Structures are given as structure tokens and as C-alpha cells.
Structure 1
Amino acid sequence: MKTLKGTAIAFVALALVLVVITAGCTQSSGTSSNATPVNDLRIGYQPSTHQMAEITAMNKGWFQQDLAPYGVTNVTDTVFPTGAPEMQAMLAGQLDVAYVGAAPVLSAISTGLDAKIVAGVNTQGSDLVIRNGLNYTGPQSLKGLTIATYPAGSIQDTVLRYWLTKNNLTPGTDVTIKAMSSAGDAATAITAGKVDAVFLPTPSPSVIVDQGAGKIVVHSGEMYPNHTCCVLVVSGDLIRNHPDIVRQILKTNDKAVAWNEANLDDAAAIYANKTGAKLDDVKASLKEWDGNWASDPSLIVQPVLDYAKFQYDNGFIKKNLTQDDLFDLTLYQK
């Protein structure tokens, strides 16, 4: 009897230990025990069809609904004209999550932003538009022209410079690159004949074509096949202390992507209503773009590292960033 009693006590003790260990494992994969609860979640985005998943998820209340079980009571989003001011807002602690081009993230992280890329948002999806009256016969025919695009450090500026350099053209010498603070400013410039071409994300190229101001001559996928464009960036605080929230954000994003792909016209209408874009332009853009709403972060690592090397080699960032500096791949995989 004593032996049986001792065995029973030992068994109960072992069970208690396992409960504690299991609880510890569960805690480490969810909210940190000493983390501050997240009541308000702040998301940044840009008015591009690249980021339609964010717009659809917000419109349908999915972020609010899906994150409520984790204690999030209020989800808000803020629109930014380009990635640079969006990353400045994140550096200032004004955003928890950002849908943003991969290139601006590099500058922000290199200067101290506590955040990581946790998923992709889209690949490719930008176009080079030449104003009417000019003849495009290949990259060399751009020599002596002025191309408007987003500011230095943006994804469009990075891809454009990469492509020009690859084709033996020196940006700033052979081709003038004019930084524009928004797609609207760039579209106005080509319409007014103040620049010869623009390189912009969709749907802006379709808007320019619809206005009769230019023609699309090169898709960004031709410049850099399968290149990363927009990514999903999350604050270090959320990743460390609320990985369960981050994982749900990724699931909600993928749900919105699947819905958009199955309901393209309705998704276009949601986008047009949110951004004020012309619905016909949005629909045309989605038919002719070469982009893809890809979220698997393992597919975008090498292109982002290529951007980082290019920016470092050309003096745009002062730190040679590594994969560990930029990515947390574990949350999407789980």
C-alpha cells in the first residue's frame, strides 16, 4: 500500500509539472505575461491596389472582428502618400502595423526602427509610362529624359535605379529622376508635360493612360522579375509581447486576399470608394497589372536583401542589413 501511495503521489506531482510546462509553452506562443494589453491597433497603408487586402479587411470590419478575442477593441488605419512618411510615423511610435513598400523599411530599420517584416503583401505591379509623342524602343531610348517617381529610398525609386544601372544607364547623369511626394503629383507632371515619363504603382499608370497623357511601355516585372514590392511590417513590441495578435493579422490579411481574388469587381468598388479613385481605372489596372498579392515571406527574402545591398552600395543606407535585421519568418510559418 505504501508503494502504491508513493507511486500515486509521484504521478500527481509529475502531472502538475507537465501542466506548468504546458502552460509555459502556451504562454510563450501567445501574449507575454508582463505585456501591456493592446486595446488600440493602428495600421498604416498607401492608396495603391497593391494594398487592397488592407482596405477590404478594414471595410468589412474583419480586423476589428478577428482581433476582438485578443482584447483589441479599436482598429484604425491612416493613409500615407508614400512609404517614407509612413515609416517616419512608425519611427515616432504612431503605427503598430504598416502595409508599405519594402525599400522604405530598410532606411527606417537602419536608423533604429524596432520592427520586422513578417509577411509579403504583393510582388511586381508598377509601370513605366511614357508621355504621348515620345518613342520608346528600349532602355537606351530613355537617355536624356526625365522620369518622375517616388522619392529616393522608395521601392519604385530603387527598382527604377536598379534597372537603369543594369542597362548601362547612370541615374542622375544619363536619365534624370525627379522625386514626387505622391502619385497624384507625378500624374499631374506628365499630363502637363513637365516630365517625360513616370514610374508608379497601380492604379496610377491606368489613370494616366485613361486621361490620354501617356502609354505603359514597361512593367516592373520586366525590370526585375518577381521582385518584392509591398510588405507587412509589425512593431517589435507586438512581435515580442503579442505574437498571437500578429498571427491573427496575417490570417486576416490572407482572408482578405482570397476574398479579393474571388470578388475582383466588388473589391475594386471597395477600393475606389475608400480612395476616391475612378472605378473604371481601378478595374482596368487590375486587368493589365503584372502584380500578385503574395504573402509568404519566404518568397520575398532574397529580393529585399538585394534592395538592401543596392541601397547600401549606393549610399542610401549606412548599415549593411542582414536577414535577421529585417525579417521574422516564424509567425507566418506557425
Structure 2
Amino acid sequence: MKKLKKLGIFCLVVSVSVAMLVGCSKSKDKLKETSKLDDDYVMQISYGTGLCAAPLQMAVEKGFLKEEGIKYELLKSDKSSVDLMMSGKSDTFLEMLPAMIQQIDNGLDARIAMGVHTGCLKLLTKPDSPINGVKDLKGKKIGVPGLASSQTIIAQRALLAAGIGVSPENMEVEFVVYNQPELPLALKNGQVDAIGMSDPSASLVVNSGDAKIILDNGVDKEYKNEYCCVLVLRPDFVKEHPEIAKKYVRAMKKAGEYVQNNPEEVAQIQIDKKLVALGDPTFNSGILKTYNFVPSVVKGKESLIKNFNDLQKIKFISQDLDVDKVVDKIYVEFDGIDD
């Protein structure tokens, strides 16, 4: 009987050991499979022109993506980056944070990994206007490129902070939609009292003498430390290729820091490579210097939460939305990448 017991115990130990070896073998095979998938994977990156896209542009031009061993293709399309991501054609893009909020509230599944830079949104009025600040906009008409645009959202948040009603039940301003190129003319002709624009167009209008600034989120004490542009990733890309996603975020962090430390060179490259259609290297580098291009994981998350909370206050998004739960789902933080 004792011999049988010992034999039984021996068999059990052997069985467990074999199972562990098989499990380890399968685990190693899975790692090899994932590694092979990563080796073959070619990232699809939505790539566009514009001053604010400097970090992504420099990630390409200065070789930060290749330095991380990332294989990639640049997507240049008339379709929106969000549409490309939803159709599985794009793995990543840069987007203004305010514009993402309503889309996420409406069910968009996306991952945000980092704040990319501050600044780039402005509210303008005529040079001789009695309007000298956001507090003077009560009862006025504000021209914007879209009712859900980042320009509109920063205006609404600033109006809320100034005690001016912007909720559906208490709207104390009127937003009027124009194409962005038409906004300066609408202001000049008196069709609106103020306009919301992004750079470099906004700064060019001011530099021409046709407008003055009443809000600049790059220098305003309420918003200057808030990240207005974020790094967006396709959820399935993060799930299926987490190591590539991590390398990409790290490359973008290096690229942003490069822009911060070399604004003159970056502005020159943007003009030479036709990555920016407006301005000149000297003027554009001056704008770049007003932003903070040092990417931040922590402040990117803080900016996301702040935008959600403000937009709930003005009833721009659902009042039932659990902000903490949503942020926990969409904000992805990679080990080893911090501020």
C-alpha cells in the first residue's frame, strides 16, 4: 500500500512537472509568435501638414521612429483621422483634445497615451473693439469653424470661467459657423464680434494688424499648462502590438523634446518640406516658442479629466458619464514612459 502511495505521489509530481513544462513551452511559443508579429508589422500613421504636427513630422524627418526600430507607412488622406482609425486603416494620429471629448462621449473607442503640446487656440476681435477680454463677450456673436470644434470648446470653457452662460438653458452668447479662412473677413465686416481660430492662421491675422487677442490658451494662466493636442492610438493596435505602441510613444516623446529645444530648425524644415503652408521660418518659430512641446503623460491625463469635467458643467456632453471610469478605459500608460 505504501509503495502504491509513493508511486501515486511520484506520478502526480511528474504530471505537474510535465504540465508546467508544456505551459512554459506554450508561453515561450506565444512570446515568439508575438515577437514575429511585431517584426512583420508596419504601423499606419495618419500624417498631415500643420504647425502643431511638428512632433510627428520630426519623428519622421529626424529618424526617431527608425531609431526605435518601427516600420511604418504615412497615410495622407482627405478622410478624417478618426474615420481612418475606426475603419482599421490608421493606428495613430495627433488630435486636438477638446475635439475628441464629444466623440468619446458619443461612443468613439480610442486610446490616448500622452499630451503632446500646449497652446495653439486663440480668440480674436477687431483691433479697435471695446472687447478686451472674455468677460466682455456676453451678448456677443462669436465666429467659429464648427459648433463641436476645439475653438468653440475653448471659448465655452473660458466663458464658463468668466461667469457667462453657455449651457443650453442659459446661452448668453451666439456661436456662428464659418469656414476657418472666412472668419477674419466675417470679423472685419462686423458679422461677428469675435472669432475662434487656431495657429498659424490666428497669429498671422493678429500680425497683419486685422485683429487683437482676447484669449490665447498658450499663455493664459488658466490654460497655459493644459495640453490641447494629444497622441491617439487605435485600441486593437495597442492590444495586439503593445511593444510597438510603447516604442512609438517613446519616439514621439523624443520628437516633442526635439521640437522644444530646436524651434528655429523645426520651423525651417516645415517650410522646406512644405509641411506648413502658411508663414515663414522666423514667424513660425516665434509661434512654436509660445507652446510647450515637452510631452507629458501625467499632464495629458489631467488635461483630459479637466476637459471632461468642464464640458459636463456646460452640458456639452452627457451628465451621466462616469468621467473617472471613461478616463481609466481610454488613457493608456506604458511602463517606463513617464515625465
1:275 aligns with 2:276: yes
Whether the 8 Å CA contact 2:187–2:195 is kept in 1: the answer is: yes
For 2:302 and 2:101, the matched residues in 1 are separated by 14
3-state SS of the aligned residue for 1:275?
coil
Q: Structure 1 pair 263/137, CA: closer, same or farther in 2 (3 Å)?
A: closer
Aligned-residue CA RMSD in angstroms?
3.5
Correspondence list, 1:44-63, <5 A? 44-45=47-48, 47=50, 49-63=51-65
For 1:179 and 1:21, the matched residues in 2 are separated by 61
Q: Aligned residue for 1:199?
A: 196
Q: Structure 1 pair 243/129, CA: closer, same or farther in 2 (3 Å)?
A: same
Whether the 8 Å CA contact 2:38–2:244 is kept in 1: the answer is: no
Q: Greater CA radius of gyration, 1 or 2? A: 2
Q: Aligned residue for 2:165?
A: 170
For 1:313 and 1:32, the matched residues in 2 are separated by 46
Q: Structure 1 pair 76/177, CA: closer, same or farther in 2 (3 Å)?
A: same
Give the CA deviation at 1:133. Answer: 2.0
Q: Which residue, 91, 98, 103 being the options, matches 1:103? A: 98
3-state SS of the aligned residue for 2:117?
coil
Q: Structure 1 pair 22/269, CA: closer, same or farther in 2 (3 Å)?
A: farther
For 2:312 and 2:277, the matched residues in 1 are separated by 37
1:264 aligns with 2:263: yes
CA displacement, residues 12-37 of structure 1 (integer Å, 9 cap, x when unaligned): x89x9599489659939x94777895
Q: Aligned residue for 1:286?
A: 288
Give the CA deviation at 1:165. Answer: 1.5
Structure 2 unmatched runs, 5+: 1-13
Q: Aligned residue for 2:250?
A: 251
For 1:91 and 1:304, the matched residues in 2 are separated by 21
Give the CA deviation at 1:323. Answer: 1.7
Letter in 2 for 1:200: M
Structure 1 unmatched runs, 5+: 1-9
Whether the 8 Å CA contact 1:149–1:180 is kept in 2: the answer is: yes
Letter in 2 for 1:234: L
Give the CA deviation at 1:213. Answer: 0.9
Give aligned pairs, total. Answer: 310
229-238 or 262-271: bigger deviation:
262-271
Q: Which residue, 124, 131, 143 being the options, matches 1:136? A: 131
Q: Aligned residue for 2:328?
A: 324
Whether the 8 Å CA contact 1:148–1:195 is kept in 2: the answer is: yes
Q: Aligned residue for 2:42?
A: 39
Q: Aligned residue for 1:6?
A: none
For 1:114 and 1:140, the matched residues in 2 are separated by 36
| Percent sequence identity over aligned pairs | 20
1:153 aligns with 2:156: no
3-state SS of the aligned residue for 2:93?
strand
Whether the 8 Å CA contact 1:163–1:224 is kept in 2: the answer is: no
Q: Structure 1 pair 21/292, CA: closer, same or farther in 2 (3 Å)?
A: farther
Q: Structure 1 pair 236/284, CA: closer, same or farther in 2 (3 Å)?
A: same
Correspondence list, 1:302-313, <5 A? 302-313=302-313
Q: Structure 1 pair 313/145, CA: closer, same or farther in 2 (3 Å)?
A: closer
For 1:34 and 1:262, the matched residues in 2 are separated by 36
Give the CA deviation at 1:327. Answer: 0.4
1:27 aligns with 2:28: no
CA displacement, residues 73-95 of structure 1 (integer Å, 9 cap, x when unaligned): x42143779xxx43234333332
Q: Structure 1 pair 93/189, CA: closer, same or farther in 2 (3 Å)?
A: farther
Q: TM-score, normalising length from structure 2?
A: 0.77
Q: Structure 1 pair 206/295, CA: closer, same or farther in 2 (3 Å)?
A: same
CA displacement, residues 56-77 of structure 1 (integer Å, 9 cap, x when unaligned): 22334543x246x45x2x4214
Whether the 8 Å CA contact 2:116–2:229 is kept in 1: the answer is: yes
For 1:18 and 1:263, the matched residues in 2 are separated by 53
CA displacement, residues 113-135 of structure 1 (integer Å, 9 cap, x when unaligned): 33210111112342222222202
Q: Structure 1 pair 111/23, CA: closer, same or farther in 2 (3 Å)?
A: same
For 2:194 and 2:283, the matched residues in 1 are separated by 19
Q: Aligned residue for 2:4?
A: none
Give the CA deviation at 1:149. Answer: 3.0
Give the CA deviation at 1:292. Answer: 1.0
306-315 or 291-300: bigger deviation:
306-315
Q: Structure 1 pair 35/53, CA: closer, same or farther in 2 (3 Å)?
A: closer
3-state SS of the aligned residue for 2:158?
helix
Letter in 2 for 1:229: C
Q: Structure 1 pair 34/265, CA: closer, same or farther in 2 (3 Å)?
A: closer
